[in-house]
Amino acid sequence: MNNTPKVPIPTLERLATYFRYLADLRSMAVETISSTEVEKQTGINAAQFRKDLSYFGEFGKPGVGYNIVDLQNRIAQILRIDRDQHVIVLGAGNLGSALAGYPGLREQGFNIVAVFDASEQKIGQSLFGLAVKDIARLREENNRLQARIAVIAVPASAAQGVADLAVASGVRALMNFAPTILKVPDKIVVRNVSFLQELAVLSYHLTADAQK
């Protein structure tokens, strides 16, 4: 029984943007906002904004707009960031360490509960108050931690193995920083973050004849 009519990924991404934007408005003690005002300030088309929300219900009042606090709460519910989400970081290199210490995540309800690594030197070290754990013990540890989201921050050569281990340990969603295509079971969601891809797009647009 599936009543939500398949929400586009871009809509979910924008929802996260709205959430943050609403937090800013909230701190400025604004009460309501209209979709045209959203467009002015974020550049996201007003119809787009209304359409995005329409996948999940009715949130505004015709003639008035949207109550900021209410809307932010509803978006938090939709994205399941109204509760704390346990996240584990796999790989305690530069990137894994940076993520473990990134304050923005916890603020938004993503709670990094453990960091794992394979290196003898790193295991046991403290990283922003978290002890680095042996990745060989991921399964036992996650049995206790119950994290469903994992961040893969290991070298490309190790990424598939780590992903397999994560899936076997009950993880259902992966944020993958390794520049490699992961093979995972159908039920598992993967988001690839590729610095190389981003830079390549930028680099392409630097060329003279790529100008619009």
- Please report, as ranges, the residues that interact with DNA according to CB under 7 A: 8-11, 33-36, 45-48, 50-51, 53-54, 58-66
Beginning with the edge strand found earlier in the chain, give each strand of the sheet holding 149-152 in spatial order: 126-127, 130-134, 110-117, 85-90, 149-152, 173-176, 189-192
- Contact of residue 209 among a copy of itself, DNA, none (CB under 5-8 Å per partner type): a copy of itself
Q: Binding segment for a copy of itself among 45-53, 104-112, 118-126, 138-146 (CB under 8 A)?
A: 104-112
Q: Report the C-alpha gap between 33 and 190 in whole angstroms.
A: 34
Task: Select 58 or 146, whichever has its Cβ closest to a copy of itself.
Answer: 146
Tokens of 175: 């944020």
* Shortest Å distance, C-beta 101 to DNA: 32
Q: List the one residue out of 87, 97, 101 whose CA is nearest residue 172.
A: 87
Report CA-CA distances (Å) from 7 to 56, 70, 166: 9, 21, 26
Neighbouring-strand partners of residue 112: 87
Tokens of 95: 């990137």
Neighbouring-strand partners of residue 133: 116
Q: Binding segment for a copy of itself among 59-67, 90-98, 132-140, 158-166 (CB under 8 A)?
A: 90-98
Tell which one of 46, 79, 145, 158 touches a copy of itself (CB under 8 A): 79
* Shortest Å distance, C-beta 125 to a copy of itself: 15
- Which positions lie near a copy of itself, rule CB under 8 A? 2-4, 6-7, 9, 12-13, 15-17, 19-21, 42-43, 78-81, 85, 87, 93-95, 97-99, 101-102, 104-105, 108, 110, 148-149, 156, 172-175, 179-181, 187, 189, 191, 193-207, 209-212
